[in-house]
Each structure stands twice: as C-alpha cells, then as structure tokens.
Amino acid sequence: MKMTFRWYGEDDKITLEKIRQIPNMYSVVTAVYDVPVGEVWSEESIRRLKTVTEKSGLKMEVIESVPVHEDIKLGLPTRDKYIEAYKENIRRLGKAGVKCICYNFMPVFDWTRTQLDKVSFDGSTSLVYYADQLEKMDPLNGELSLPGWDSSYKKEDLRKLFDQYKSVDEEKLFENLKYFLEQIIPVAQQCDVKMAIHPDDPPWSIFGLPRIITNEKNIDRFLKLVDNPYNGLTFCVGSLGADPKNDIVSMVDKYSKMGRIHFMHIRNVKHVENGFEETAHDQKYGSMDIVGIVRALVKNGWDGYVRPDHGRMIWGETGKPGYGLYDRALGASYINGVWEAVELLS
C-alpha cells in the first residue's frame, strides 16, 4: 500500500514539511482549490502544486476531489460542457503524473455531520451524526456550512437546486451517473488515471435528496455501469461503515479482489442508537474491524493508496474539523502498524 495524507494546498497550515515527517508517508492527496466547480484547472496551478509537493520529498499521485458539477448530476442539457471540462482535467492531471482521482456523486451536499465538536470521554472532540439533530437542521436557510461543502451557494441557489432535484430519484441519478462515466472512463483509461468514486456520507438519503453509493447492491450496480477497472472506488470505511447493515470486511475483500478499489479511506466510526460518532482510528474505540479490513487487503495483494481519514481534535489543536494534524498522524501510524503486523504474520 501507499500511505497518503490530505493536504489542502499552500494555504493549509499543516505544511508539507510536517506531513513529510509522518512515518511511511508517500504522497499527498490534494486539489486545486481556487477554481469554481465545473471549470478546467489551469496547468500552471497543477504544475505549481506538483513542484512544491515534490520539492518536499512527497509525490502528488492522488487528487481529492475533482468535483462534479450539479448539472451533470441533474442531467441537464448543459452537462456536456461540464463533462468536457472534466475530461480535460483528467488529461491535465494525468500529464502531471496523477494516478488516481477521487470524486463523489452526492447531490448538493458532501459529507454531513450534525455536530463538529462533540466532547468524548478523554476530552478530545470529534464529528458526530445524530438523527434528532439532523431533523432540526434546515438545509435551505443558507446558514449551514460544513468543511466539505461547496460554500459558494447562496440561499436562492439552494432553493433552486432543491427544486431541480425534485425530479431526480435514485433511478435517474444512476442514469445520470452512467452518462457521465461512459464519457469520462475512456479518457481516464487513455491517461492511465484510476477514477475512484467516494461513497455517500452518510450512506442514506438526507434532506430528501437521493443518494446512491450507499451499499453493496448499489456499488455492484455502479461498477457495472461501466465495467472497466478504471471505474473504481474510494472505499471509505467510515462512510459505508456508518450503516451497520454494510458488512465492511466482506465488501473490502470482494472489491479489492476484483481490482476495483483504488483508494482506501481508513477510519473508525462507532454506531450509537441515534446515529454514529467518529472515534480514534484504533479498532477498540469504534465499531469497525480495522484489522479485518487490512487483513483482507493484504490477502488480496492490494497495492493502492490509503489515507487516514477524519481525526479528532486533540492536544488543543484547532483547525478544519476532521483535518487536524495530530490525530490523523496517529491514525496513519496506527494503520502502518496494523499493516506491518498483518504482513509479517501472513
């Protein structure tokens, strides 16, 4: 496996120098952040990211994300122009040595939590999702904002989008995804860039919007939409694992055996009555069988990219919720340790 770490570019206060010192670190996971969703990234910005990354001794082989414009998800006539731009981004990134692009197909909102600073038993804080808190949230008031969300929407944009999604159910969303994949996967293959869809987080419909990358049945269907190894997965343990019905170890085993997992997000999540709580990465704190997951990957000779995922805030750190340095570095070290042990014992 190749260990990676998300880096939000030159404005990230977690510098490349720090990331570089985490044991076994291979590549950053990054993106060009100053371009509106749907537009082509300038070659200059891509080159600059690559140059600074490589100067620090790291690689830039994974992009998270090249976001998908809502018109593509909605299946509007304007989608073709955004798909052309998407293809051009794949080409440009491929030229810069990128091997894997993570993206998602969640309508309007990316990952969603109801509280970002839940105090845990040891005084650390983490991200949680409680159904009763979600019911009280109004996505249309224009005040909600989460770190993963596109913050450019105004109140009126959100209302319009919600209206447009009234005619898009799960079937339609699958159709629109197929249309998109049929066009981008051949380009990805030509450029030798693996496309890796991120599951929906949480893996169920929220605010009445459809979500489809949620469980094994739907992922099987997704992989068949375009049955090509370049059409693969970011297997996010915490996202799919939030639903206790998903058998994570067996899914990881199955999809890694098929050669369809290109990127693993490994983190732990604890099921609670009313939702879930993010915890330290270590197996004993949550509901995920992290060792079982790693064992399946090692058994299948899997050699993709891995990153620790959301960390708690510990040691007084402040910053982007889920994306501090300390707990994610501990997460990376934990995953390295589990990996090493599983390899040695197998």
Q: Does 305 bind ligand DNO (CB under 6 A)?
A: no
Q: Is residue 323 flagged as an active site residue?
A: yes
Out of 165, 281, 310, 327, pick the active-site residue: 310
Out of 198, 262, 285, 305, pick the active-site residue: 198
Min dist CB 70 to ligand DNO, Å, is 14
Is residue 156 packed enough to be buried (19+ CB in 10 Å), middle (13-18) or exposed (0-12)?
exposed
Q: What are the tokens at 89?
A: 């981004």
Q: Does 27 bind ligand DNO (CB under 6 A)?
A: no
Quickly list H helices, 258-324.
290-299
Can you tell me which of 111, 180, 222, 263 binds ligand DNO, judged by CB under 6 A? 111
Q: Does 72 bind ligand DNO (CB under 6 A)?
A: no
Is residue 333 packed enough to be buried (19+ CB in 10 Å), middle (13-18) or exposed (0-12)?
middle
Binding part of the chain for ligand DNO, among 33-41, 103-111, 137-145, 185-193 by CB under 6 A, reads: 103-111
Q: Does 307 bind ligand DNO (CB under 6 A)?
A: no
Q: Is residue 8 flagged as an active site residue?
A: no
Is residue 30 packed enough to be buried (19+ CB in 10 Å), middle (13-18) or exposed (0-12)?
buried
Q: Which is nearer to ligand DNO, 150 or 175 (CB)?
A: 150
Q: Is residue 281 flagged as an active site residue?
A: no
Q: Is residue 271 flagged as an active site residue?
A: no
Q: Does 104 bind ligand DNO (CB under 6 A)?
A: yes
Q: Which is nearer to ligand DNO, 64 or 71 (CB)?
A: 64
Can you tell me which of 27, 53, 65, 124 binds ligand DNO, judged by CB under 6 A? 65
Q: Which residues in the 256-275 window bind ligand DNO by CB under 6 A?
A: 265
Q: Does 64 bind ligand DNO (CB under 6 A)?
A: yes
CA angle 75, 185, 187 (to 5 degrees): 110
Closest CA to 286 of 338, 238, 326: 238
Out of 265, 285, 305, 327, pick the active-site residue: 265
Q: What are the tokens at 277?
A: 């709580």
Min dist CB 278 to ligand DNO, Å, is 10
Q: Is residue 198 flagged as an active site residue?
A: yes
Can you tell me which of 39, 110, 247, 317 binds ligand DNO, judged by CB under 6 A? 110
Q: What are the tokens at 283?
A: 């197996």
Q: Is residue 303 flagged as an active site residue?
A: no
Number of Cβ atoms within 10 Å of the Cβ of 79: 22
CB 195 within 8 A of CB 230: yes
Binding part of the chain for ligand DNO, among 18-26, 74-82, 97-105, 204-212 by CB under 6 A, reads: 97-105
What single letter denotes the amino acid at residue 71? D
Query: What are the b/e assignments for 239-268, b being 16+ CB within 10 Å?
Result: bbbbbeebebbebbbbbbeeebbbbbbbbb
Q: Does 253 bind ligand DNO (CB under 6 A)?
A: no
Q: Does 102 bind ligand DNO (CB under 6 A)?
A: yes
Q: Does 148 bind ligand DNO (CB under 6 A)?
A: yes
CB 130 within 8 A of CB 113: no
Q: Does 82 bind ligand DNO (CB under 6 A)?
A: no
CA angle 143, 148, 151 (to 5 degrees): 40
CB 128 within 8 A of CB 146: no
Residues noted as catalytic: 198, 236, 265, 309-310, 323
Where do contacts with ligand DNO occur on this chain (CB under 6 A)? Answer: 64-65, 102-104, 110-111, 148, 198, 236, 265, 310, 322
